[in-house]
């Protein structure tokens, strides 16, 4: 049954006359770009001629709207970027941009925080993975497209932004007032030797990568050299909550642990596939055992590194199955300063395992309860504000990775001792 208002709308639509020139004309060729562009051009002409609000119908506005819809309909990762968005993306990859420091996604139609980036206003305020952003400065985020949401979160440095947050675990709704700052992302953090094990004082190193940017491989190389000088015997490489970044950076990081010329990842799409191999820029022979920590928020570049080191038996993967974002987005600049971010291929690990929508499964599964996860993030926040570093006792996944490496080192030592004894008997 129609409401009165519904009948009124139908009546008004029915009363609108159909112009003769607007008679539907079937394109002679559905695949013809000329025929279909004619349809788009005619639609834009009619909108500019008759739409009630003149402020919304500039050719640029209509073109950008068409491009946004065109790209959004392809898949969740393809995107049209206006000039300001494109500039912001370029700033991201250079590790410096303005904002609040929260990585967001759309989950079940809700704007959801994947991870608050460390050393940022969002992290300092205590925002957590899974928090839902209901409103930004009082404006509802319902039905808000992800690129538009990101645009609202960014803005002028020094400007205050109020986020209305719902925490699903408690159903609590709370306002957080944050101030935008220049976000300088230090991608390599917490490089140190972990507290020595009681059983022999083994030196196990730890280093964490927050995302993959232009400087990441160089920063990691310096951190490894420092730990190696301190006598590091094994390494925990922490990629949890790492959303990815530059593919070239992920390949370079893989190259710190693999021989030069090793295929770290390959891509396949409609164009001929491509292989990405490790180079010699940051590499040197490294044979000590490595454990890679991953979780549900390890995505893209993190999955490339974890997949390469797992398939090539260079590392033991510990934690949870990764996010499963294994598609390649090529960014193509357009003449007016805007750009297309277009999905053009999918990633495959060296063992031909697809990453997209599957993720990288760990060799050893280790999980955190939500309470343990929140405690870990609180410990990291305290550490960033001057407290001590997070220890394995406060991080069950890290403790599991350390146990694995201890076992590997002890086994290797015993094998070496047996070999030495056998060589002595034979001499």
In whole angstroms, give the CA distance from residue 378 to residue 395.
Answer: 11
Q: Is the pLDDT of residue 13 over 70?
A: no
* Pair of tokens at residue 263: 């295929």
In whole angstroms, give the CA distance from residue 383 to residue 4.
Answer: 62
CA nearest neighbour of 41 among 15, 65, 62: 62
pLDDT band at 24 (very low <50, low <70, confident <90, very high): low
CA nearest neighbour of 155 among 98, 230, 94: 98
pLDDT of residue 212: 94
Average pLDDT over residues 149-155: 83
Q: Is the pLDDT of residue 307 over 90?
A: yes
- Name the helix (H) or strand (E) containing 178: strand 172-179
| Residue with more model confidence, 28 or 322 | 322
| Chain segment 185-223, per-residue pLDDT in tens | 789 999 999 987 655 689 999 999 999 998 999 999 999
* Pair of tokens at residue 251: 């390949």
Output DSSP code: residue 198: T
**Residue environment code for 26-54, b if the CB has 16+ CB neighbours within 10 A, otherwise e:** eeeeeeeeeeeeeeeeeebeeeeeeeeee
What phi, psi does 102 have (nearest 5°)? -125, 135
- Residue 242 and residue 211 in contact, taking contact as beta carbons nearer than 8 Å: yes
| Residue with more model confidence, 94 or 391 | 391
- Active-site residue 420, yes or no? no
pLDDT of residue 406: 94
pLDDT of residue 362: 98
| Residue with more model confidence, 221 or 27 | 221
pLDDT band at 12 (very low <50, low <70, confident <90, very high): very low
Cα angle, residue 142 at apex, residues 122 and 325 outer, rounded to 5°: 65
pLDDT of residue 10: 42
**Residue environment code for 104-125, b if the CB has 16+ CB neighbours within 10 A, otherwise e:** bbeeeeebbbbbbbbbbbbbeb
| Chain segment 216-274, per-residue pLDDT in tens | 999 999 999 999 999 999 999 999 999 898 899 999 999 999 999 999 999 998 888 89
pLDDT band at 5 (very low <50, low <70, confident <90, very high): very low
Average pLDDT over residues 371-400: 81
In whole angstroms, give the CA distance from residue 37 to residue 424.
Answer: 82
Output DSSP code: residue 409: H
| Chain segment 55-77, per-residue pLDDT in tens | 888 999 999 999 999 998 998 88
| Chain segment 352-364, per-residue pLDDT in tens | 999 999 999 999 9
pLDDT band at 6 (very low <50, low <70, confident <90, very high): very low
Average pLDDT over residues 324-339: 90
pLDDT of residue 250: 96
Burial classification of residue 11, based on how many CB atoms lie within 10 Å of its CB (0-12 exposed, 13-18 middle, 19 or more buried) = exposed
- Name the helix (H) or strand (E) containing 227: helix 216-229
Average pLDDT over residues 342-359: 93
- Residue 153 and residue 321 in contact, taking contact as beta carbons nearer than 8 Å: no
Q: Is the pLDDT of residue 301 over 50?
A: yes
Average pLDDT over residues 102-115: 87
CA nearest neighbour of 265 among 281, 257, 277, 279: 277
The one catalytic residue among 78, 300, 327, 338: 300
Q: Is the pLDDT of residue 330 over 60?
A: yes
pLDDT of residue 387: 60
The one catalytic residue among 78, 311, 327, 395: 311
In whole angstroms, give the CA distance from residue 51 to residue 66.
Answer: 16
- Active-site residue 325, yes or no? yes
pLDDT of residue 91: 65
CA nearest neighbour of 314 among 257, 234, 233, 361: 257
Q: Is residue 425 classed as helix, strand or coil in its secondary structure? A: helix
- Residue 325 and residue 304 in contact, taking contact as beta carbons nearer than 8 Å: no
pLDDT of residue 92: 61
pLDDT band at 379 (very low <50, low <70, confident <90, very high): confident
In whole angstroms, give the CA distance from residue 4 to residue 245.
Answer: 53
Average pLDDT over residues 384-399: 78
| Residue with more model confidence, 146 or 341 | 341
pLDDT of residue 205: 96
Q: Is the pLDDT of residue 134 over 60?
A: yes
In whole angstroms, give the CA distance from residue 253 to residue 278.
Answer: 9
The one catalytic residue among 78, 189, 325, 338: 325
What phi, psi does 199 have (nearest 5°)? -90, 75
Kindly write down the DSSP assignment for every residue of 73-86, as one continuous string. TT-TT-EEE-HHHH
Kindly write down the DSSP assignment for every residue of 284-326, as one continuous string. ----S-EEEEE-TT--THHHHHHHHHHHTTS-EEEES------
């Amino acid at each position: 049954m129609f409401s009165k208002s519904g009948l009124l709308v139908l009546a008004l639509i029915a009363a609108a006359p159909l112009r003769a020139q607007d008679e539907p004309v079937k394109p002679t060729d559905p695949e013809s770009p000329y025929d279909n562009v004619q349809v788009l051009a005619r639609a834009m002409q009619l909108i500019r001629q008759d739409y009630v609000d003149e402020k919304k119908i500039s050719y640029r506005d209509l073109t950008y709207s068409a491009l946004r819809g065109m790209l959004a309909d392809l898949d969740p990762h393809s995107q049209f970027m206006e000039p300001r968005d494109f500039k912001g993306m370029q700033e991201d990859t250079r590790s410096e941009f303005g904002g609040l420091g929260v990585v967001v996604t759309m989950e079940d139609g809700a704007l959801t925080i994947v991870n608050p980036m460390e050393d940022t206003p969002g992290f300092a305020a205590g925002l957590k993975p899974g928090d839902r952003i209901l409103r930004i400065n009082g404006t509802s985020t319902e039905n808000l497209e992800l690129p538009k949401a990101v645009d609202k979160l960014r803005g002028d440095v020094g400007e205050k932004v109020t986020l209305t947050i719902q925490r699903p675990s408690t159903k609590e709704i709370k306002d957080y007032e944050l101030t935008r700052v220049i976000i300088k992302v230090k991608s390599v953090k917490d490089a140190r030797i972990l507290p020595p094990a009681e059983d022999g004082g083994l030196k196990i190193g730890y280093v964490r990568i927050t995302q993959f940017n232009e400087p990441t491989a160089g920063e990691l190389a310096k951190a490894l050299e420092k730990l190696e000088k301190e006598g590091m015997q094994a390494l925990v490489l922490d990629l949890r909550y790492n959303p990815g970044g530059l593919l070239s950076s992920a390949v370079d990081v893989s190259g710190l642990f693999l021989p030069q010329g090793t295929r770290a990842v390959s891509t396949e799409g409609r164009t001929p596939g491509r292989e990405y191999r490790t180079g010699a820029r940051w590499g040197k022979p490294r044979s000590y055992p490595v454990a890679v920590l991953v979780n549900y928020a390890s995505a893209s570049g993190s999955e490339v590194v974890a997949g390469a080191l797992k398939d090539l038996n260079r590392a033991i993967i510990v934690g949870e199955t990764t996010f499963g974002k294994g598609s390649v987005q090529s960014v193509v600049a357009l003449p007016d300063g805007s750009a297309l971010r277009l999905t053009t291929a999918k990633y495959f690990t060296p063992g031909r395992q697809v990453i997209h929508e599957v993720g990288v499964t760990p060799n050893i599964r280790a999980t955190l309860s939500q309470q343990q996860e929140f405690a870990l993030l609180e410990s990291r926040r305290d550490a960033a504000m001057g407290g001590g570093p997070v220890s394995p006792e406060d991080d069950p996944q890290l403790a599991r990775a350390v146990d694995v490496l201890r076992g590997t080192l002890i086994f290797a030592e015993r094998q070496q001792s047996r070999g030495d004894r056998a060589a002595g008997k034979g001499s």
